[in-house]
Structures are given as C-alpha cells and as structure tokens.
C-alpha cells in the first residue's frame, strides 16, 4: 500500500492540533502561508492557527472511507498499511458496515492525526530538517515519519477560485518529495475574523491521483 503513505503525507499536513491560534490570518492566502511557515519553522502552533483539524478530518475522512470501500470491493485494499495507526483506522472504518460504526472511529482518527502532525512538524520531518541520526520517539507514528522520503513539504498557494461571504475556494499545489506536485482545492473560511482551512475539497481526485502515481 505505497499509495497510502503518500496520501497520508498530504492528508495530515492539512490538519493540525486544535488550540489557541498563535496569530490571526487576515486572508485565505495568509492562512496557507502561515501553515507553511509553521512547517518550515517547526512550530505546530503556527500551523494550528491556520487549520481547523476537526473540520478537515471529519470531511476528508468520509470521502476517504467511501473510496477505501471501493478499493476493498475491488480487492485492492490489502497488504501492508504503511501509514501506521492512521491508515489502520481508515481501513478499519472502511471495513465495517454502516456509517454509525465508522463514525465511532473518527475521534480516534483525529487524535492520531494530531499526534502525527505534532511530531512531524515539531521534529522538523515535514520541513526536511529532522536530525535522523538521533533516536526518534518510541512510537509507530515516529517510525512512519522516519520512513517517509526526506525533504521539504511545501504548500504553494494558487489563485482564489471563488470568494464570498467569508468563504473562499483556493487552488494550491502540495509539493511532496515522494509524490511530486499534487493539485489541491482548499476551502478556507473566515470565522470571527480569522481565516482557516476547513476542508480539502478535492479529496477524491487527490486519492485517485496518488493511487495512479503509485502504480
């Protein structure tokens, strides 16, 4: 399941740890720039200020679970789930019957993503600055990070596709050392004067693109 690790690399970088914002982004592009700054400076608080984890995970996980059900039906969902606990939880959610049962796994998924992002950003892994000579934290999440291709992950903002009433749809490219440049469409909303990413609008297209590149 090589594609799973690549997909998760994109997925988790767009969800962060919920908490008090370090500063308020005053535009959709400023929110994406602040997320990137958090990655580059190994500061999850800055990244968190630009991304709403609960919203992104909830919306993206529904699409991912539906797509994984398709994979399972076609016999493609098998082998090594290289994304650690996050991949395992998604695969488990895809295997159960009924959306209510899958929804019970969402809080666990959110927790795992928070931890993954915290270690990945604060440890310098996503910025390509991790000291791999040092012993990583003893966790499955850290082991996944050490197996990811080395290099800087970058979110490059593009044009604003649409914007009205405090909601914007923004094109972007996610540059990943392993998967290459991946096109994104992000929903960024203004809440109480703060712009934050709340959704990956093209989750399905992203899934298929990463899958195709991994074949």
Domain span holding position 29: 2-213
Phi/psi class of residue 71: alpha, beta or left (left: φ > 0; alpha: ψ in -120 to 50)?
alpha
84-96 pLDDT per residue, tens: 566 676 667 666 6
The pair of structure tokens assigned to 75 is 């016999």
> Over the chain, what is the mean pLDDT?
76
Could you tell me the pLDDT band of residue 23, with boundaries at 50, 70 and 90?
Answer: low
pLDDT at 19 over 50: no
Q: Which residues of 72-88 are buried (b: 16+ CB within 10 A; e: fewer)?
A: eeeeebeeebbbbbbbe
Whether residue 59 contacts residue 86, with contact meaning beta carbons closer than 8 Å, is answered with no
The pair of structure tokens assigned to 215 is 């074949």
Distances (CA, A) of 31 to 43, 55, 88: 15, 15, 30
Confidence (pLDDT) at 12: 58
Total domains, the chain: 1
Distance CA 171, CA 161 (A): 7
Tell me which of 29 and 178 has the higher pLDDT.
Answer: 29
142-175 pLDDT per residue, tens: 666 667 778 899 999 999 999 999 999 999 999 9
pLDDT at 212 over 60: yes
* Rounded mean pLDDT, 59-65: 77
Share of the chain above pLDDT 70, in %: 65
Q: What is the pTM of this model?
A: 0.77
Burial of 129 (0-12, 13-18, 19+ CB in 10 A): middle
């Amino acid at each position: 399941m090589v594609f799973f690790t690549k997909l998760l690399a994109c997925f988790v970088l767009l969800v962060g740890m919920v908490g008090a914002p370090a500063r308020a982004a005053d535009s959709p592009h400023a929110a994406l720039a602040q997320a990137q700054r958090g990655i580059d400076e190994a500061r999850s608080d800055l990244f968190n200020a630009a991304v709403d984890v609960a919203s992104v995970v909830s919306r993206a996980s529904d699409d991912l679970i539906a797509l994984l059900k398709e994979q399972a039906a076609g016999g493609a969902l098998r082998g090594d789930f290289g994304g650690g606990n996050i991949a395992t939880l998604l695969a488990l959610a895809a295997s159960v019957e009924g959306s209510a049962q899958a929804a019970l796994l969402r809080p666990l998924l959110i927790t795992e993503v928070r931890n993954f992002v915290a270690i990945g950003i604060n440890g310098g892994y996503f910025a390509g600055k991790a000291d791999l000579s040092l012993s990583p934290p003893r966790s499955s999440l850290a082991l996944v990070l050490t197996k990811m291709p080395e290099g800087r992950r970058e979110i490059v903002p593009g044009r604003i596709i649409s914007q009205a009433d405090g909601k914007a749809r923004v094109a972007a490219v996610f540059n990943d050392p392993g998967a290459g440049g991946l096109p994104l469409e992000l929903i960024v909303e203004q809440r109480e004067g703060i712009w934050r990413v709340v959704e990956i609008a093209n989750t399905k297209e992203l899934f298929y693109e990463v899958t195709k590149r991994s074949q």
